[in-house]
Structure 1
Amino acid sequence: MAVHWVLICHGLVTLTVVVSFLCGQWPIFQGTPISSIHRFITFGAYQYFLKFVGAVFGDKGTNLILSVEYYCCDRPNPILQIIYLAIIGTIYCIIAKTSFSYIPGYYLSGIHRYASMLAVGIGILLFILTSFSDPGTVKAENVSQYLSAYPYDNIIYTEKECSTCKLPKPARSKHCSICNRCVARFDHHCGWMNNCIGERNTRYFLAFLLWHFLLCVYGTIAIGLVLAGQLKELRVIYILTVYYGVDNSFGSLAPYIVQWLLGSYNTQILLMVFMAIVSLLLAGFFVYHANLCLTNTTTNETFKWQDYISWRKKLSEARASTAALKASISGVNGEGKPPESKCRSFFRRSPLEDTEAVIKNNVVHQPMFFIRIYMKEVVV
């Protein structure tokens, strides 16, 4: 019985870690343990690790770790691609080894042996298409086409030149610092694909997400039907009710059936839980990106627009504060000093004019400056 609880706890911990890592930054989890775990996994643990390496090995050890980080996170590399292939290959081999012996079974025909292989092959094909397709690289040969296809809105995109590529920068494009190229209708750089997601390969990326969601659902249901077939063929319910006197009801039979499944098919249960969790995450990613496509926007533009709205809010607050300060000073001046002549007041310079000039020069006439500061893209 202790083994069963270990498996259950293992599944719960795995679910918590996966959800915290991938979704901990969502607003719904702010101020919850999920958010704290996400910060520890993505930032805190690495900082503690750097401090430990620095204390034990000194600056040389820290510099080595930072160089590895630069290669893994700031330059194109196939590490996550290899991990993806290892994950999908390992899971398929485990399923084939532990479950194919029960196919054909009571609920599944033998065709699922080959259908599963075909499904995995299509998933890998979509992965290859997304990874090695051109995302829409802006070059001297096609920059004029992209400039005409994506006009500037003069709000978050203005006419300018990419300081790295030395080419006019079309609206909705972005220079990827990892791939070192400008990508038209840039969405994001995907580490799993080792490629940018842009105008020309977004459809492959969406197909990849949708197919892998369906693949995980198919695997979960198929293993569930294998276990249900074993339950039927071995007449477990009949044995429990007739020989052990268990009441023939769901509430009475469920604990015994779960205990039997965990004891006899724990590997299949863990695979089902893993694929069910991954399918939910893939569904969330697919819905998010599908909604972006339906609204004709991108992940990059979503963050840019949010920062622009934040800047507009701060600008409005600054104007309101200036107006309130001006009214307050005017009231104080009106109460403490005798009224001035109209001629003198006409030529007198307001004490707030300098302040307003600073605000106008640095805020009103340079909105894109603040957006670039927030997005850390002053140079790009």
Structure 2
Amino acid sequence: MEINLFKLCSGLRVLGYFMILLVAGIIGISYYAVVFLTCGPQLLRGGFHSFLSFAIVIIFHVLLILLLWSYFRVVFKDPGSVPENWRAVSAEENLGVGSSLAAVDDGFERRSRGGYCIHCQNGKPPRCHHCSVCQRCVLKMDHHCVWVVNCVGARNYKFFLLFLLYTFLETTMDTVVLLPSFINFFADAKNHSSTPSNLALVFLAFVLNLAFALSLLCFLVMHASLLSSNTTSVEVHEKKGTVRWKYDLGRKMNFEQVFGTKKSLWFFPLFSQDDLHNIPALGGLDFPTRSDVEA
């Protein structure tokens, strides 16, 4: 009996739903430990510590809102699907028959060459890859993330990066806030100054937040490097064999290919209509390339 490994991979989607519950649980534990057990008593005492705790609670909630907003945008936003019967277009057809490959867009050419997916039996745009978990081709696929039960691709990569950023900031702040309680954990347990359940929650929240903050820092550094060179996780191997990466347009343009040009929306999981209309890369089907690199 033949076993279809690609079908087995689709079972990972079930794991993703447990990950969503895990995220909700971690947020719940952290919220209770930081807001109610740590900052709450300080707010009741008054004075400078009360003011500091109030500021922490405000920042905590702002980061939490931005974190959840970005998270749900990654979960529910389609990363980009290939239109039915899409076909690859040559550079000559794209720029016009008989025209030279003249550089456009400040010295960069716009090409729409692609390939063919044997699994989907459909055309495959450039930078598009087939996801074994989702069982479909994803535009400018970066990776399939079990934490969001979705692929990260052209149309939700910005939301994913913001989710990483705000989660890192939130967990780092939680770790700093809970550090004194963690240091005094054994003394509080010996003196019975708090209930065992509250002590256990504070201890667990500190360990979880510290672990996530450290791991997210590594992910942020990695994706910052990928963003600066306009590379996806699945393109890293392909890029190693090249002298110049054809999609590397310079740090400023690389950043705008993901976050758009409207600065007021850079830190929000949103795009302006102008950017969606004027930056084809955000759609995932067409990407400008360096004019000094062969396609």
Please report the TM-score for the alignment, with normalisation by the length of structure 1: 0.47
Residues 42 and 53, structure 2, Cα contact 8 Å, conserved in 1:
yes
The whole-number CA distance in structure 2 between the counterparts of 1:96 and 1:208 is: 21
Query: Secondary structure at 2:122's aligned position in 1?
Result: coil
Q: How far did 1:291 drift?
A: 0.6
Equivalent position to 1:125, from 69, 77, 86: 69
Q: Which residue does the alignment assign to 2:28?
A: 89
1:288: which partner in 2?
Answer: 222
Unaligned segments of structure 1, at least 5 residues:
1-65, 153-158, 229-253, 310-380
Retained in 2: the 8 A contact 1:176–1:183?
yes
Contact 1:138 1:183 in 2 (8 A): yes
| Aligned equivalents of 1:71, 1:141: Cα separation in 2 | 24
**% of aligned pairs identical?**
27
Moved more, 260-269 or 193-202: 260-269
Matched ranges for 1:32-47 at <5 A: none
**How big is each residue's C-alpha offset from its partner over 1:43-86, in whole Å with a ceiling of 9 and x where there is no partner?**
xxxxxxxxxxxxxxxxxxxxxxx9xx766426785222222122
Structure 1 contact 219–272 (Cα < 8 Å) conserved: yes
Within the alignment, does 1:260 sit opposite 2:187 as a pair?
A: yes
Query: Is the aligned partner of 1:220 residue 2:175?
Result: yes
Q: How far has the Cα of 1:277 moved from its partner?
A: 2.4
Aligned residues: 209
Going from structure 1 to structure 2, the CA distance change for 1:126 and 1:74 (only over 3 Å counts) comes to: closer
**Structure of greater Rg:** 1
1:223-238 to 2 correspondences below 5 Å? 223-224=178-179, 227=181
* 2:10–2:134 contact (8 Å) kept in structure 1: no
SS at 2:63's partner residue? helix
RMSD value, Cα: 3.6
Is residue 205 of structure 2 the alignment partner of residue 271 of structure 1?
yes
Answer yes or no: is 1:165 the counterpart of 2:120: yes
| Secondary structure class of the residue paired with 2:134 | coil
Q: 3-state DSSP class of the match of 1:296?
A: coil
Q: Cα deviations across residues 318-362 of structure 1 (Å, max 9, x unaligned)?
A: xxxxxxxxxxxxxxxxxxxxxxxxxxxxxxxxxxxxxxxxxxxxx
Residue of structure 2 aligned with 1:180, choices 135, 143, 158: 135
CA distance in 1: counterparts of 2:23 and 2:225, whole angstroms? 25
The equivalent residue for 1:112 is 56
| Match of residue 146, structure 2, among 163, 184, 191 | 191
Give the deviation of 1:209 after TM superposition. Answer: 0.4
Q: Which has the higher contact order (CA 8 A, sep 6+)?
A: 2
1:203 aligns with 2:158: yes
Q: Which is strand-richer, 1 or 2? A: 2
Change (3 A) 1:194 1:167: same
Matches within 5 A, 1:1-380: 72-73=11-12, 78-104=17-43, 106-107=48-49, 108-140=52-84, 160-224=115-179, 227=181, 260=187, 263=190, 264=193, 266-267=199-200, 268-305=202-239
The answer to whether the 8 A contact 1:126-1:207 is kept is yes
Deviation at 1:282, TM superposition (A): 0.5
In structure 1, distance between residues paired with 2:14 and 2:237:
23
- Displacement of 1:103 in angstroms is 2.8
CA contact (8 A) 1:146 1:184 kept: no
List alignment gaps of at least 5 residues for structure 2: 95-109, 243-295
